[in-house]
Structure 1
Amino acid sequence: MTSSAPVARTGMVPVDDTALAVTDTRGPGRPLVYLNGSYADHRPWRPVIAELGAGWRHITFDERARGRSGRSADYSFEACLTDIDAVLAATGVERPLLVGWSYGAALAVHWADRNPDRALAVVAVDGAIPYGLTGEEGRERIRRLFRRMRPLLPLVRPFGMAARMSADQHADINIEANEVNAAIGPVLDRLTCPVRYVLATGASLGGGQEEMERMRAALDPALARNPRLAVSAKVASNHSQVLRKDFRAVADAVREAAAAHEPGAG
């Protein structure tokens, strides 16, 4: 049964050459830090937060040039990891349960790998999978996609589906994300905290059904090697719709990951 909706407090957290818009419900339960998709703001998490309710402490933030956060000279993956540290320091959270979607899932497992004594658990929503478009052919495919999308980016930006960046900067982030994911296998092998995956099964923009199935199948060897990793659910929606249509599965994965950390858990 869902608790009453949490009430949030918002503020700006300075980091490097910018400031991040952070929302913290200050709830009484475990702190959940939500990490967004590549170009999304915090809004897609609202159904998950409402489903989990006010018993948890929900912390969301907009990455650089997303949502209400400021622009920056650095949009790299490493900068995004720095931003997690800044948000944790500002909110006083020592042991977060990280909930990441897509790009955010990769950030979550990398942060957990670098901070094994602090990461409580990770929920990875259709991300942090050892698969990516790499090499010059892959990079050019990504650049072509964002060149085609250039006229649409300003139109979808108000809905949290694009950042305040150029099409080329969008492409650069996507290229780096593919390279990070392609090389993520050793990170998954080293993780010592519980990790629960929610995997979408539908086709997505930029990848047909067959390619998406190959991507998700690439997770199987990592699941076999590290018993701390498990799939909590496979859902019917696609990558873009998973938080909106299958938020209950994501909330269940959060509960499962938190329970897996409890003393005596398997």
Structure 2
Amino acid sequence: MTKNSTSATSSQWTGMVPVDDTALAVTDTDGPGIPVVYLNGQFATQGYWRRVVAELGTTWRHITYDERARGRKSKRSADYSFEAAVRDVDAVLAARGVDRALLVGWSYGAVVAAHWAGRNPERCLGAVLVDGAFPYDWLDEAMEQRIRKLFRRMSWFMPLLRPTGITPRMTAEEQADSNIELGRLSRERELGPVLDGITVPVRYVVASGTSLGSRGDEQERIRAGLDAVTARNPNIRISAKVAGNHGAILRKDFRAVADALREVAALDHVGR
């Protein structure tokens, strides 16, 4: 683990955490508060969480990081698989000396959080899943072709934005492969058992309307897959259904996300 800088807040740490063949840019506010690990959308950055972090304030310990080849500093890798993303959670926690944490994930990050919570019940204080981790069979051959076409279409301008950290340092094919893998992992027969097996408190914050690449009411039909999950597992509840769409939820509905984290933290499982 290498340290790059400290902020004006003396306890805050920023630096690079080595994992496998790469290194991740991590920010940790440190302190004695409940550790919260923020898991980003598939090609998003830790900056998306700034409103949630500010809303919760300094009594919490906030750990954010940019996944492989995301943001301005996280390094490229030969492995952008979902399992690598789950391993990265462990690497960040180990590097920052955190044994037990509360997870919050948006979109792709929600699926990572669900898997990590299911695999590590003794280490997970609970999870908040933000408009993601819906078990639904949305991927078929036609959708796979739509995904590949979408990323090929965007490939000409994405390199222009990479210096800003807005777009990942991944090829169009790598991004499409990652999105298609997510579709396979989101199938009811794959994700359903993961959610059914979770034994820690989980709260969903659900958006409304469309997401990038969706058509008509596709996204709402995907979200409806959550109904059967909450009926089967009493540990999982919907905290809020908000007006913001998938892409805007962390910007427009950050208070609902913060409230869901407070809700989980208030449960006896967390010990507050």
TM class, shorter-length: over 0.9
- 1:264 is displaced (CA, Å) by 9.1
For 2:22, the equivalent position in structure 1 comes to 18
Contact 1:105 1:126 (C-alpha < 8 Å) held by counterparts:
yes
Is the counterpart of residue 99 in structure 1 residue 104 in structure 2? yes
CA RMSD of aligned residues (A): 1.8
- 1:241 is displaced (CA, Å) by 0.6
Give the 3 Å change call, closer, same or farther, for CA 252–144 of structure 1 in structure 2: same
- 1:148 is displaced (CA, Å) by 1.5
Contact 2:82 2:181 (C-alpha < 8 Å) held by counterparts:
yes
Q: What amino acid maps onto 1:76 in structure 2?
A: S
| Equivalent position SS for 2:217 | helix
Is the counterpart of residue 167 in structure 1 residue 172 in structure 2? yes
Give the 3 Å change call, closer, same or farther, for CA 245–263 of structure 1 in structure 2: closer
- 1:132 is displaced (CA, Å) by 4.5
When the two structures are superposed, what TM-score results if normalisation uses the length of structure 2? 0.91
- 1:158 is displaced (CA, Å) by 4.8
Structure 2, gaps ≥5 residues long? 1-8
| Equivalent position SS for 1:20 | strand
- 1:258 is displaced (CA, Å) by 1.2
For 1:248, the equivalent position in structure 2 comes to 255
Give the 3 Å change call, closer, same or farther, for CA 28–133 of structure 1 in structure 2: same
Contact 1:6 1:27 (C-alpha < 8 Å) held by counterparts:
no
| Equivalent position SS for 2:124 | coil
Contact 1:201 1:235 (C-alpha < 8 Å) held by counterparts:
yes
Q: What amino acid maps onto 2:238 in structure 1?
A: V
Q: Distance in 1 between matches of 2:135 and 2:180?
A: 14
Q: What amino acid maps onto 2:202 in structure 1?
A: V
Is the counterpart of residue 142 in structure 1 residue 147 in structure 2? yes
- 1:59 is displaced (CA, Å) by 0.2
Contact 2:209 2:217 (C-alpha < 8 Å) held by counterparts:
no
- 1:6 is displaced (CA, Å) by 10
Contact 2:138 2:222 (C-alpha < 8 Å) held by counterparts:
no
Is the counterpart of residue 118 in structure 1 residue 129 in structure 2? no
Alignment coverage as a number of residue pairs: 261
Q: Distance in 2 between matches of 1:6 and 1:207?
A: 44
Identity over aligned residues, as a percent? 62
For 1:200, the equivalent position in structure 2 comes to 207
Q: What amino acid maps onto 2:254 in structure 1?
A: F
Q: Deviations over 1:64-120 (max 9, x none)?
A: 000111000000000111111100100111111000000000000101111111111
For 1:76, the equivalent position in structure 2 comes to 81
- 1:231 is displaced (CA, Å) by 0.6
| Equivalent position SS for 2:27 | strand
Q: Distance in 1 between matches of 2:110 and 2:127?
A: 8
Contact 2:244 2:253 (C-alpha < 8 Å) held by counterparts:
yes
- 1:161 is displaced (CA, Å) by 3.9
Q: Which moved more, 1:202-211 or 1:80-89?
A: 202-211
- 1:160 is displaced (CA, Å) by 4.4
Q: Distance in 2 between matches of 1:223 and 1:128?
A: 12
- 1:28 is displaced (CA, Å) by 2.1
- 1:137 is displaced (CA, Å) by 2.3
For 1:214, the equivalent position in structure 2 comes to 221
**Of the candidates 228, 231, 235, which is equivalent to residue 228 of structure 1?**
235
Q: Distance in 1 between matches of 2:160 and 2:56?
A: 32
Q: Deviations over 1:205-247 (max 9, x none)?
A: 2113411110110110001000110011111111111001110
- 1:155 is displaced (CA, Å) by 4.0
